[in-house]
Structure 1
Amino acid sequence: MTDLSALLQPDKGQPARAIHLVDADGYDAWLKTQPVRHRTAITAQKLTPTAFASAILPGDNADDWSVVSVVADVDKLSSWCLARLAETLPEGTYRVEGAEPGPATFGWLTAQYRFEKYRKADKAQGPRVLLTGEIAKIAETVRLAEATALVRDLVNTPALDLGPGELEAKAEKLAKKHDAALTVTKGHELEAGYPMIHAVGMAADKKHAPRLIELVWGNPKHPRVAIIGKGVCFDSGGLDIKPGAGMRLMKKDMGGAAHALALARLIMEHRLPIRLHMLIPAVENAIAGNAMRPGDVLKSRKGLTVEITNTDAEGRLILADALAKAVEDEPELIIDFATLTGAARVALGPDLPAMFANDDALAEDLLGGGTAEDDPLWRLPLWQGYGEMLKSDIADLNNSPDGGFAGSVTAALFLEKFVPKDTPWAHFDTFAWRPAAKPGRPKGGDALGLRAAWAVLKSRFG
């Protein structure tokens, strides 16, 4: 993981290059106050008053320069407004003049994330350090950035090096660091207790055998919160095999598990007063002679039977068994993360995770947390009128209705069957991937919905 901890430092008056911020409304007035050499440099660099635009302002000598950067609103900085500077400025230490960088510190850190596990590290640019006078917020910002980097690292890692066993190892390392209890169920015990997790993963070779990974931490007297993450380490589609283009990014189908691990890490690092129960059903949806078939009927941990109408709708199957386990311990709140449906991406695009909730207050809190943290969500409905699409002629329900209508909604309705109505539950259908780079957010794996969920947990239990 990229070391981000040294990139945000307390401002104790040490030497640093100045970053001047200006927005479009104040740009012309600001420009009039600048000396001739600055206006000349701005003209030469073709600076325009658009967000993320910047220019170098010369000083009295060659090494005495500062930076001007255009932001959307100088009075309300976003997480990302300094991110492009963090990607492009020369190595050095910087200070925002006349203001605290505030939320922009997060984007400053995440902009310097690099995934270089499989290639030589780029040494052309050294670290860019940002100073802040809000010293008490540094540790929290670094933790959030490191949790985001953890999601990115896990999602970016190919399935060859990140199967169910490697996910287990990540959870074990996290448990040891925070003195949490780790339980892993696999083999005959998995088949008997979690038959749908077993069925989805049984075609994988022994190295990638399916398992349920559980981590429990915290005082048993504290409110119990279950965090669940879909851990399909590679998804071929099963016998309903994906085309090559659809399979290309399926290393990222464990993005839900990555989010669950990162959120669990935040909870334990912060020592949030809850009883955490993290569950990751970890599988590879492979193809072999013993793979589950379209038309098979599986019995779930809850006892409901499921007709398999599409082996590529496997994520909801393993989540259902994990949800059934979680509710047995009567949690006060359940949050699950899953790279579940392409329908959510069609509806909302790659930047905006679909969020479903059976509790309006929880949904409003999550939407508010997403807005406050620049980690937006969009609530989609658990529209009960579509429940009839899940009916089966021979089982209690099917796993993938014909026709493809409202695919993300019917997937959420499937999961809802395994959650008691009086247990607050939120389901994130998140992409966990950035198809094109944005400032602070490189192409590749990414955390979408993580900070929104963390904001709610802090607010409710902190």
Structure 2
Amino acid sequence: MDHTRLKFAKSGAQAIPLFALTKDAVSGWLEAQPDTLKVWVKAQGFTGSAGTVCTIPDDDGGIAQALAGLGDSASRKRQRFTMAACAEKLPKGIYRLETEHDHDRLEEHALGWLLSQYTFQRYKAKPPHEARLICPDGLNSARLETIAAGEALTRDLINTPASDMGPDALEAATSALAEAHGASLSVTKGDDLLAQNFPMIHTVGRASATPPRLLDLQWGTKGPTLVLVGKGVCFDTGGLNIKPASSMGLMKKDMGGAATVLGLAHMIMGLGLKLQLRVLIPAVENSIDGSAFRPQDILTSRKGLTVEINNTDAEGRLVLADALALADETPPDLMICMATLTGAARVAVGPDLAPFYTDTHKLADALREGAQRARDPVWQMPFHDPYEQMIEPGIADLDNAPSGGFAGSITAALFLRRFVSNTAKFAHFDIYGWQPSPAPGRPKGGVGMGARAILAALPDVLDL
């Protein structure tokens, strides 16, 4: 998919000066301007409110310069990527940012501008945003373009419906990413999953016309080891515990964890981070036919733990468990799991926050700090040990769907932690992967959550 517009304009181009001003800074900026310009700006009603713009004409009717409103301190807390909102409103042209900002703020402006250029056009042509930005001085343009491309990859994968993004297509997308970066990809598919001891991946996906599989991408030969595990349920009917229509409508996004780790992998490989990366994606469809797994079935996992099935719609944790167990057999320095796992997480924190679980304080601190720098909000949730008994049904080692409905995100996280016993640093993200309404730099649809926060945290966590 073409994302050539998610790049900065060439620095040698003739550019329109752009002044990004907070509400408090507008009056001071105007004081230094000619009277005619003051009158013009006031006539346009520009006050520096967040996401507003004002263009100032030259003598020939073109644009001499432009103003972008950044709002006040309260609006900064309420809105990310305000510059993206401005970019979407500015007329066609190449712009050069003239006002000074600290590095993190400047990077947010530049990345937000790039992300504002994203549109999903696989099935319908859409006019591109015509306002382009020259990368501000002091920023690494290639780095920001790589991050934007990784986010665009995630969005494209989530936005594509299951008719064109089933396990075969997800494998093809992973293969294309591996080829682009010189990585290797091995695939275990169909009945070979049983032969190679991935029984729960096979069980969840066996009712689909498209065989289930485990994708295993590896890149890099030196440095600390990082494993990313992403839930790749390309469509989730709920299985025999079938979802109602209201809950099934967005299930093309149930591979959002896989899409997010692939976008993050593109960032890591594209930036050439000095580490050894492994990406594991169990790619399945949770479908219904005569071979579908049933409530009350008991499955034996790769790790040997038995699992009682009390709801076939709690399938994501099953496929992830086999992948996590594989990674844990040769424990990496850091393992991160990303999944659109529970509705309980959305009830707890809404669609904008990426909740995560970890027992490692250094990792938690690095993720929080990285999220703040990257403007990619996360929120730590507890591995609450007293709830362990909720996932122990008695007839088997584990219950995939404890009754009662309490603490659903926490019990799912505790379930996954049972399959990671050797890896010292582990985090699980229970993400949403969907932007329910348009926001600056984030149109309605698939969206990455947590990837930029993780990227920002890696140097501290892995001593890169």
- Give TM class, smaller chain: over 0.9
Q: Which moved more, 1:441-450 or 1:265-274?
A: 265-274
Q: How far apart are 1:43 and its partner, in Å? A: 4.0
Q: What's the counterpart of residue 414 of structure 1?
A: 415
Q: What's the counterpart of residue 113 of structure 1?
A: 118
Any conservation in 2 of the 1:79–1:373 contact (CA below 8 Å)? Answer: no
In structure 2, C-alpha distance between the alignment counterparts of 1:232 and 1:167, rounded to whole Å: 10
Q: What's the counterpart of residue 204 of structure 1?
A: 208
Paired letter, 1:262: G
Q: What's the counterpart of residue 145 of structure 1?
A: 148
Alignment of 1:74-223 (within 5 A): 80-99=81-100, 101-122=106-127, 127-134=130-137, 137-192=140-195, 193-205=197-209, 208-219=210-221, 221-223=222-224
Q: What's the counterpart of residue 267 of structure 2?
A: 266
Residues 1:51 and 2:83 are matched in the alignment: no
Q: How far apart are 1:386 and its partner, in Å? A: 0.8
In structure 2, C-alpha distance between the alignment counterparts of 1:5 and 1:135, rounded to whole Å: 21
Q: How far apart are 1:68 and its partner, in Å? A: 1.2
Q: How far apart are 1:4 and its partner, in Å? A: 4.0
Q: How far apart are 1:371 and its partner, in Å? A: 0.6
Q: Which moved more, 1:193-202 or 1:179-188?
A: 179-188
Q: What's the counterpart of residue 8 of structure 2?
A: 8
Identity of aligned residues (%): 46
Paired letter, 2:350: G
Q: Which moved more, 1:321-330 or 1:129-138?
A: 129-138
Q: How far apart are 1:48 and its partner, in Å? A: 3.6
In structure 2, C-alpha distance between the alignment counterparts of 1:362 and 1:126, rounded to whole Å: 38
Any conservation in 2 of the 1:366–1:452 contact (CA below 8 Å)? Answer: yes
Q: What's the counterpart of residue 326 of structure 1?
A: 327
In structure 1, C-alpha distance between the alignment counterparts of 2:45 and 2:253, rounded to whole Å: 40
Aligned-partner SS, 1:457: helix
In structure 1, C-alpha distance between the alignment counterparts of 2:267 and 2:377, rounded to whole Å: 19
In structure 1, C-alpha distance between the alignment counterparts of 2:229 and 2:329, rounded to whole Å: 14
Task: Give the alignment's Cα RMSD to 1 decimal.
Answer: 2.1
Any conservation in 2 of the 1:272–1:458 contact (CA below 8 Å)? Answer: no
In structure 2, C-alpha distance between the alignment counterparts of 1:129 and 1:415, rounded to whole Å: 44
Any conservation in 1 of the 2:69–2:86 contact (CA below 8 Å)? Answer: no
Q: How far apart are 1:276 and its partner, in Å? A: 1.3
In structure 1, C-alpha distance between the alignment counterparts of 2:225 and 2:49, rounded to whole Å: 47
Any conservation in 2 of the 1:203–1:285 contact (CA below 8 Å)? Answer: yes
In structure 2, C-alpha distance between the alignment counterparts of 1:6 and 1:176, rounded to whole Å: 21
Paired letter, 1:201: G
In structure 1, C-alpha distance between the alignment counterparts of 2:190 and 2:205, rounded to whole Å: 11
Any conservation in 2 of the 1:41–1:56 contact (CA below 8 Å)? Answer: no
Q: How far apart are 1:396 and its partner, in Å? A: 0.4
The Cα offsets for residues 55-113 of structure 1, whole Å up to 9 and x where unpaired, read as 22233331143211111469x99961310222122221101113364331111011010
In structure 2, C-alpha distance between the alignment counterparts of 1:88 and 1:446, rounded to whole Å: 21
The Cα offsets for residues 327-366 of structure 1, whole Å up to 9 and x where unpaired, read as 1122111011100111111110100011111211111111
Paired letter, 1:112: Q
Any conservation in 1 of the 2:332–2:423 contact (CA below 8 Å)? Answer: no
In structure 1, C-alpha distance between the alignment counterparts of 2:35 and 2:203, rounded to whole Å: 72
The Cα offsets for residues 201-260 of structure 1, whole Å up to 9 and x where unpaired, read as 11101xx211000011111x5322111100000001111111111100000000000111
Q: How far apart are 1:452 and its partner, in Å? A: 0.5
Any conservation in 2 of the 1:2–1:115 contact (CA below 8 Å)? Answer: no
In structure 1, C-alpha distance between the alignment counterparts of 2:57 and 2:310, rounded to whole Å: 66
Q: What's the counterpart of residue 240 of structure 2?
A: 239
Q: Which moved more, 1:228-237 or 1:173-182?
A: 173-182
In structure 2, C-alpha distance between the alignment counterparts of 1:127 and 1:441, rounded to whole Å: 17
Paired letter, 2:281: I
Any conservation in 1 of the 2:9–2:94 contact (CA below 8 Å)? Answer: no
Any conservation in 2 of the 1:239–1:311 contact (CA below 8 Å)? Answer: yes
Any conservation in 1 of the 2:96–2:136 contact (CA below 8 Å)? Answer: no
Q: How far apart are 1:30 and its partner, in Å? A: 3.3
After superposition, the Cα gap between the structure-2 partners of 1:422 and 1:229, relative to the gap in structure 1 and judged at 3 Å, is closer
Any conservation in 1 of the 2:231–2:282 contact (CA below 8 Å)? Answer: yes
Q: How far apart are 1:15 and its partner, in Å? A: 2.1
Q: Which moved more, 1:34-43 or 1:404-413?
A: 34-43
In structure 2, C-alpha distance between the alignment counterparts of 1:352 and 1:126, rounded to whole Å: 27
Any conservation in 2 of the 1:6–1:129 contact (CA below 8 Å)? Answer: no
In structure 2, C-alpha distance between the alignment counterparts of 1:178 and 1:49, rounded to whole Å: 43
The Cα offsets for residues 348-407 of structure 1, whole Å up to 9 and x where unpaired, read as 010001111121111111111001100010000000111111011310010011111111
In structure 2, C-alpha distance between the alignment counterparts of 1:418 and 1:298, rounded to whole Å: 14
Aligned-partner SS, 1:414: helix
Q: How far apart are 1:133 and its partner, in Å? A: 4.3
Paired letter, 2:270: E
Gaps of 5+ in 2: none
Q: How far apart are 1:422 and its partner, in Å? A: 5.1
In structure 1, C-alpha distance between the alignment counterparts of 2:6 and 2:234, rounded to whole Å: 32
In structure 2, C-alpha distance between the alignment counterparts of 1:93 and 1:185, rounded to whole Å: 48
In structure 1, C-alpha distance between the alignment counterparts of 2:46 and 2:425, rounded to whole Å: 50
Paired letter, 1:310: N
Q: How far apart are 1:36 and its partner, in Å? A: 4.0
Paired letter, 1:317: L
Any conservation in 1 of the 2:118–2:152 contact (CA below 8 Å)? Answer: yes
The Cα offsets for residues 9-67 of structure 1, whole Å up to 9 and x where unpaired, read as 4545x421111122122233334444444344334433344211222223333114321
Alignment of 1:266-285 (within 5 A): 266-285=267-286
In structure 1, C-alpha distance between the alignment counterparts of 2:231 and 2:162, rounded to whole Å: 15
Q: What's the counterpart of residue 344 of structure 1?
A: 345
Any conservation in 2 of the 1:18–1:95 contact (CA below 8 Å)? Answer: yes
In structure 2, C-alpha distance between the alignment counterparts of 1:435 and 1:25, rounded to whole Å: 32
Alignment of 1:10-89 (within 5 A): 11-12=11-12, 14-72=13-71, 80-89=81-90
Paired letter, 2:202: H
Aligned-partner SS, 1:419: coil
In structure 2, C-alpha distance between the alignment counterparts of 1:139 and 1:21, rounded to whole Å: 23
